[in-house]
Structure 1
Amino acid sequence: MKAYIAYFFVVIALLLQSPAHAGADNPALGGYDPVSYFKAFPEKGKRRLVATHAGTAYWFSVESNLEEFSSNPERFIPQYSGLCATNYREGFRRPANPLIYLLVDGKLYMFSSLSALQRWQVEGVSGQE
């Protein structure tokens, strides 16, 4: 019985750390600016430049990125709530590494590891949503 209770608390802790529960002190994407992925490379956001969308906080590196996100957040939010796309497709909720990502057809996909990214590329992106 104790093992089940411990497992329950571990699951709850993992869910509370997921991107869907990220707050201003625990932003999505590990604090990286979601707009920056679409411009050149991921940049760390600043705590003072924050926007919340659907209960999730996002930090931004510059004011113009915050404004751009605010005008169309759906364009910049990663697929699968920022969880690892490969693992999500396989039925697992694994946090992604914000520095391992892929842009496909204007959509941001995040991955937990280089091997997860490689599996995604080998299997192809089409039809995976």
Structure 2
Amino acid sequence: MSRVLILIAMLFTSSVYAADDVYTGFFSNKAVSGYDTVSFFDGAPVKGKSAFKTKYQGADWLFASQENLDKFLADPEQFAPQYGGYCAWAIAEKDDLAPGDPKYWKIVDDKLYLNYDQSIQNKWEKNIPGFIDLGNSNWAKR
């Protein structure tokens, strides 16, 4: 019985946290839930396609086009979401890891931030600079 519980715990742990702290969710290795991170910077996030895929920080990153994949490969840190795609508010306010949802996003100073849901994003938007400062400090300790 204890072996089964250990195996289940290992399965969930490895599914939730990809290498280098990139959020991929349960039963997936897709960063940003499979969205094309470059497309956020164009103002219209879209899902990526498996034909345009790369590995980065232990996760699979999908893109809508070869052009977007090439942009990402040229400067992945520019396009990857902050805090590994975890919720920016949770990192800042709670120093905790919560899923970032690509439906709730914002570009600030040319960096992509994700939040857990609309209510959390509303909280985060009340003090974006303060939450970014706290988030950066908390993330650096990880």
TM bracket, shorter-chain basis: 0.7 to 0.9
Matched, 1:61 2:48: no
- Could you give the per-residue CA deviations for residues 81-102 of structure 1, whole angstroms, max 9, x where no partner exists? 0000111121221111111101
Give the helix-richer structure, 1 or 2.
Answer: 2
Query: Residues 21, 101 of structure 1: CA spacing in aligned structure 2 closer, same or farther, 3 A cutoff?
Result: closer
Partner of 1:110: 114
Query: Residues 14, 114 of structure 1: CA spacing in aligned structure 2 closer, same or farther, 3 A cutoff?
Result: farther
Partner of 1:77: 80
The structure 1 segments of at least 4 consecutive aligned residues displaced by more than 3 Å after TM superposition are: 9-12
Partner of 2:104: 100
Unaligned runs of 5+ residues in structure 1 are: none
Do 2:35 and 2:48's aligned partners in 1 also have CA atoms closer than 8 Å? yes
Classify the secondary structure of the residue corresponding to 2:67: helix
Identity across the alignment (%):
29
Aligned equivalents of 1:93 and 1:21: distance in 2? 9
Unaligned runs of 5+ residues in structure 2 are: 137-142
The RMSD of aligned alpha carbons is 2.5
Alignment partner for residue 31 of structure 1, among 18, 34, 53?
34
**TM-score (norm. length: structure 2):** 0.76
Do 1:33 and 1:58's aligned partners in 2 also have CA atoms closer than 8 Å? yes
Moved more, 115-124 or 68-77: 115-124
Query: Residues 100, 15 of structure 1: CA spacing in aligned structure 2 closer, same or farther, 3 A cutoff?
Result: farther
Query: Residues 97, 63 of structure 1: CA spacing in aligned structure 2 closer, same or farther, 3 A cutoff?
Result: same
Query: Residues 60, 94 of structure 1: CA spacing in aligned structure 2 closer, same or farther, 3 A cutoff?
Result: same
Classify the secondary structure of the residue corresponding to 1:35: helix
